[in-house]
């Protein structure tokens, strides 16, 4: 059998290299569409302090929640700490978004922004992150608008903290960079280097 020529091997190497690089570029482009957001908030009332840290996962897009419509969040992994006591929040409730009140969510490739519209004391737009399915129960974080008019609050067994210093729109989270992006880019680069050496 006649051995393959160097030009043939070079062509195969270049074709494979292009495919790998194109795949890496496509995967890197899709990773820019990140959906996981890092949350890091802190607020106080008197001597009592509250923090909310962790991540939430939501598809990119603009959302309007009204009349207790479904939450667009696909996962929640937050820790609410009040007076040094931590609570794990893993659910989102929309039951206190009623009447004309609207809770607005803008999930972009860089930030997760919350806002409200048409809310008042009778038409609340309050989004809850909680550790149980019951509305108005303890161990929850609430952000929104009603008669306050804008607020964020923590209601827990360790105490309650209410802050009315939130102004909407507010950036609730920032995108968590995906570590696979650099690995994919490096993989494509290694394949190019490998085939260049074979030449």
Convert the pLDDT of each residue in 99-134 to its tens digit. 999 999 999 999 999 999 999 999 999 999 999 888
Instruction: Choose between 180 and 174: higher pLDDT.
Output: 174
CA 53 to chain centre: 12
Burial class (CB in 10 A: 0-12, 13-18, 19+), 7: exposed
The model's confidence at residue 178, banded by pLDDT at 50, 70 and 90, is confident
Longest Cα separation, the chain: 86
Domain ranges of the chain: 6-32+179-198, 36-175
Q: Tell me the pLDDT tens digit for each residue of 132-160.
A: 888 888 899 999 999 888 999 999 999 99
Helix (H, G, I), strand (E, B) or coil at 145: strand
Measured between alpha carbons, how far is 89 from 130 in angstroms, rounded to an integer?
5
Q: How far is CA 35 from CA 76, 77, 92, 116, 121, in A?
A: 12, 13, 16, 21, 33
CA 40 to each of CA 2, 48, 176: distance values in angstroms, whole numbers, following the listed order: 65, 17, 12
Provide the pLDDT for residue 154.
97
What is the per-residue pLDDT across 8-56, written as a single tens digit (0 to 9) for each? Answer: 545 545 554 454 444 443 334 344 444 899 999 999 999 999 999 999 9
pTM (predicted TM-score) = 0.74
CA distances from 98 to 42, 72, 120, 144, 164 (A): 27, 17, 10, 12, 20
């Amino acid at each position: 059998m006649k051995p393959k020529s160097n030009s043939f091997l070079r062509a195969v190497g270049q074709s494979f290299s292009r495919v790998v690089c194109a795949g890496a570029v496509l995967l890197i482009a899709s990773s820019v569409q990140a959906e996981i957001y890092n949350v890091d908030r802190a607020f106080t009332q008197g001597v009592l302090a509250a923090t909310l840290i962790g991540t939430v996962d939501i598809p990119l897009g603009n959302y309007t929640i009204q009349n207790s419509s479904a939450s667009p969040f696909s996962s929640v992994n937050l820790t609410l700490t009040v007076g040094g006591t931590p609570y794990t929040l893993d659910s989102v409730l929309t039951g206190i978004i009623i009447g004309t009140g609207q809770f607005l969510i803008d999930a972009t490739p860089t930030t997760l922004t919350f806002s409200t519209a048409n809310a008042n004391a009778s038409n609340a737009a309050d989004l809850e992150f909680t550790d149980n399915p019951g509305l108005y129960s303890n161990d929850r974080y609430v952000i929104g608008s009603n008669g306050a008019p804008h607020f964020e609050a923590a209601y827990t067994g360790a105490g309650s903290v209410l802050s009315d210093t939130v102004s909407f729109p507010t950036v609730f989270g920032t995108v968590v960079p995906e570590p696979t992006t650099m690995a994919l880019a490096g993989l494509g680069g290694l394949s190019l280097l490998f085939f260049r050496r074979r030449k």
